[in-house]
Structures are given as structure tokens and as C-alpha cells.
A and B are shown apart, each in its own frame.
Chain A
Amino acid sequence: MIRILIVDDHPAMRAGLTAVLRAEPGFVPLDAATSDKDLWPTLNRTRPDVVVLDYHLPGDDGVVLCRAIKRRLPAPAVLLYSAYADAALTIPARLAGADGVVSKSVPANELYDAIRRVARGERVLPPLSRELLDDAGNRLDADELPILGMTLEGTPLLEIAATLGVEPAQIAHRIDRMIKRLKVEIPAPRAAR
């Protein structure tokens, strides 16, 4: 039985996901959260196995929330569930420790499959490509590149800190900053110029 927490700001999406997951044997959709505001109380109350997390949310985006969720002990598996920019999310999602990235346009059975796999501890991430790495390299400082490389290879934080000879907290802080720099821009309605 996989206990699932849904985080999405749109009611239609929350209702649809809940209904679809409830219909699938072995899944138990728990309460749904709408943004960073009600995520933490819901998370504490429900203690899910998997969090299905929308990327685009009011307030903190899915990648930032994912990183915060994955710092908890014990951390649930996190599946980023996004309507767009799956490829662009690849590197930020990995940096944030997401277990999977799934597009909102896939049919339900692919979503079931991804949830089962992340619940088993597998990764469901889109492959890294040359262009994505080049693009990330261009947007980051030179001294951040080793951290990026090691994180993408799956090196644990403590090991990265030991290799670079700095405090783990400092590495964690750098990763936060890198995530901010690699933020996937959603063209929001522009404020009046």
C-alpha cells in the first residue's frame, strides 16, 4: 500500500488526481495540499510514502519545496509532476533530490508506474543531455561545477563536503543557491512596467 500526498494549486487537478489514484489498487491518496503554506502541517499529519508535487505553485516552486521535503527524516519519495519544461527541470530536480519527474500529459498508467517505482526507491528522471549540462554550466559559477557534477553522480552531501574540504552546511547552502540560479522561468503575467 502506497500512501500518497498530492500538492497542486489547481482544484481540478487535485480532484482528478485523487480520483484516479483512489481507483488504482494499492494506492491511498491522502489529504491534498495547495502550496507551501499548508504543505508542512499536512505532511506532518499524514506522513506519506510519496509526494506528488506540482512544479508551478504559488509561493515556493516545486523544486524548492522538494529540496525542503527531502531534508526531513525520514523523507518521503518526491515525484515532480509538471505541466511543461520537463527537460529543463532535469538538473534542478536532481539537485533538489527529487526521485522522479513526470509530465502532466502522460496517461494514468504511466503515472501509476512512476509512483510505484519511486515508492520502491527507484529514480524516474529524464536523461541528462549535453545541452542541458552546457546550459547549466553557463549559468553557474566555475566553483559550483564540481558540486553539480558530484550531485548529479549521486555523491552524498557529506562526501562532497569532505572532497572539497568545506563544511556540509556550506555545500547545502551552495546547492540552494544553484537551484535558485537554475530556476525554470515560467513567464508569469508581467507586473506593470
Chain B
Amino acid sequence: MMLLLMTRLPAAAVAVVLLLVHRVTAHDGVLIVAAIVYTTGSLTVLTALPRLQLSPLAWLVDCAAVLALVAASEDWRSPFYVLMLTALVLPSTGLAFRRALGWGIAFALAYLGVAVYTELDANTLESTIRLETIATHLMVPLVVVVALAYATDVLERLRDERLRSERFAVESERQRIAWELHDSAKQRVHAAHLVLSALQGQVSGAQAQLVGHALGELRAAGADMDTSVAELRTPLEGRPVQRLLEERAAELGPVSEAEITVHGALGELPAHVAAHVYRIGAEALTNAVRHGAARHVDVILARNATSATIEVRDDGRGLATTRRPGSNGLRSMRARADTIGAALSIGPGPDGSGTSVVLSLSTDPEARSSQT
């Protein structure tokens, strides 16, 4: 859209100036007004309704309008020629390369039709200079389309490549952390547990209680590490969040009474954001089923142009008033939300019963980078 603004405004200015300094037709005044109305009108509508920027019907209307302007100027060497080319910006950047080329050819043929309608005749075709001019005029739309479509294609590939390497970086980092947790930290915990447990038979009374407590903590630490390692090793592989949550729901389904439904989708998110969003959702889901004794759990995913929200709502017994010993689920959810600059709210459901966990994050890259 930026590109369209940057090309259409100067092109319209050129057309208006040409019409002002040079008498083209008997109704130049009307043409100037038409050019200004068309330019401002088309840009306003396309800016207000971003959906139209991707609509072939809108492109068609746009192309028809510029061709009509050319026809109204009564000459195919029209002051509107450059303005006409700007109608190719959206199709060239919105379509795949081959389709864009097809669109360009169709457009060039339509322009040829307009040229024939205005004054292209046998005379023109006999003169070499004029023949060359019409050929150039016909080729320019194709060149514009090819150049834009090629650039768009390259940009898209670069973006995919960046996403892929981002995902890979996240994935290999996770593997490394999992490996370190398992290979080193957990071995130390085992060693500490073993050494301490050797004391167990040798102390009594309060001391034995202390040792027992420490051993319990070490076992819990080992279990926490196992959970983290398993979590770190679950590869997300760039699959959409709703698929992953559905899989998680299917895993939880058989071991609980709860009926879990996943609605909606989040669309594409950067890999590390998707990973955190999934972990938060999965943790909320697990809490609802394990500790909330929920019968129904709804996971609602929604995405609009600037933000994504995920809500996990259950009809269980609500939030515990006291902290469960050894629970750090909520804390880790908040830490994850902070990491991706998202807002997390945990509270009772809309009707005061159950629990509702809502995570909302801005998907506007500029807004996000200013937050972090």
C-alpha cells in the first residue's frame, strides 16, 4: 500500500501538470477533476478497507478506471499513462509470480484495446517511430509487473528464511538447555540426594525430619527438571498453536472427566512467541483439569489485524486461595507472558464461577518492539 501511495500521488501530479501545460482534449478541466477524484478516492477507499488491497475484484475495478481515464484522454499516449501503471502495483505484489505475469499480459492487451479504440490505426503501424512507441507502451506494464512480482517473491523468501532460522535458533537453544539440565544439573541433584540419604539412618528426631524434608525437596527438584526437559524437548516445529493445544487437549482428555474444546485460530506468529503462547495455554489447560476439577474447558483463540488473544475458560472450582506447595505454574506463566510482552490476566470466569485465563498480545511488530 505504501508503494501504491508513493507511485500514485506523483503519477497523478504528473497527469494534472501535463493537462495544465498542454492542451490534450477539449475537456481537459473535466479530466483534471476526474484524475484528482480518482486518485484521492481510490487511495482513501483502499486505506480504509485494507481487505480490498488483496481483492482481485478491487484490482479489476481499479484497472478499468485507469483504462477509462486513458480512453477519455482520447490518445493512447495519454497523460494518464504513468497513473495507469500504478494500477499494477497491487496485483503484482499480491499475486504469485506467474499469475502476476498473466495479469500484466491481460492488462497490456486491454491497453492495446483502448489504444485501438482511441486512434491506433494502419497509419500508426506503418510509421517505424510510432510502431516503436506503441510497442514500448505495451511492454512497460509487463516490465513493471515482472519487476514488482520478482521483488515481492524475493522479499517473501527472505521472510520465510528468517522465520525458519529463527525457529531453528530457538529449537537448538532449547535442545542445549534440555541437555544441560539433564546431563549436569540433574546429575548433581541425584548426587546430593544420594549423599544426604546416606545420613538418613544415622540421625534421629528433629534432624531426621530436616533430612527428610531436604530429600523431599531434592526429589521435587528432580521431578521439576524432568518436566522441564520433557517440555523443552517437545518440538513445536512451527505448527500452529491451535493444533498443538488440540493435541494437548487430546492428551489430557482420557485422564480427566473434562470436556475440552478448542475454538478459533491464532494464525502465524513468530516462532518464539508461538512457543510461549502454547506453553501458557497448555499450563492453563493442565491447571483447569488437574487442580480446578473442571467439567468443561473452552480454549478460545482469536486474532485480528493488531492483536491475538487466547482465553482458557473452565467451570471448575476456581482459583485456590492458598498457594499449592511446590507450584510454580502460575509464576512461570507470568514470566513467559512478560518475555513476549503480552498481558496475562487470571481470575474468575465472566459469571463469577470457574477460572478464566486470558493472554493478549500485540501482533503489530512495531508496537511489540516498543514494549520490549
Residue from the list B172, B178, B193 in contact with A187, Cβ < 8 A: B178
Segment touching A, from B126-134, B184-192, B242-250, B322-330: B184-192
Segment touching A, from B194-202, B252-260, B275-283, B333-341: B194-202
A104 touches B194 (CB 8 A): yes
Q: How far is the CA of A193 from the CA of B192 in the complex (A)?
A: 37
A192 touches B172 (CB 8 A): yes
Instruction: State the Cβ distance, A54 to closest chain B Cβ, in Å.
Output: 9
Instruction: State the Cβ distance, B208 to closest chain A Cβ, in Å.
Output: 13
B175 touches A16 (CB 8 A): no
Q: How far is the CA of A13 from the CA of B191 in the complex (A)?
A: 5
Q: How far is the CA of A108 from the CA of B178 in the complex (A)?
A: 27
Instruction: State the Cβ distance, B141 to closest chain A Cβ, in Å.
Output: 43
Residue from the list B182, B183, B184, B215 in contact with A107, Cβ < 8 A: B215
The answer to whether residues A105 and B198 also contact, given A189-B176, A189-B179 and a CB cut-off of 8 A, is no
A13 touches B187 (CB 8 A): yes
Q: How far is the CA of A105 from the CA of B193 in the complex (A)?
A: 7
Residue from the list B176, B190, B197 in contact with A13, Cβ < 8 A: B190
With an 8 Å Cβ cutoff, the count of chain A residues facing the other chain is: 25
- Let me know if A182 is at the binding interface, CB within 8 A: no
User: CB-nearest residue of chain B relative to A15?
Assistant: B191
B187 touches A20 (CB 8 A): no
- Let me know if A1 is at the binding interface, CB within 8 A: no
A23 touches B198 (CB 8 A): yes
- Let me know if A190 is at the binding interface, CB within 8 A: yes
User: CB-nearest residue of chain B relative to A104?
Assistant: B190
Residue from the list A8, A20, A105, A188 in contact with B195, Cβ < 8 A: A20
**Which of B183, B192, B198 is the most central at the interface, judged by chain A CB atoms within 10 Å of its CB?**
B198
B178 touches A20 (CB 8 A): no
Which residues of chain A have C-beta atoms less than 8 A from B222's C-beta? Answer: 105
A188 touches B193 (CB 8 A): no
- Sample (12) of A-B pairs whose CB atoms are under 8 Å apart: A13-B187, A13-B188, A13-B191, A15-B191, A16-B190, A16-B191, A17-B194, A20-B194, A20-B195, A23-B198, A189-B178, A193-B168
| A binding-site residues for B, Cβ under 8 Å | 8, 10, 12-13, 15-17, 19-20, 23-24, 83-84, 104-105, 107-109, 111, 187-190, 192-193
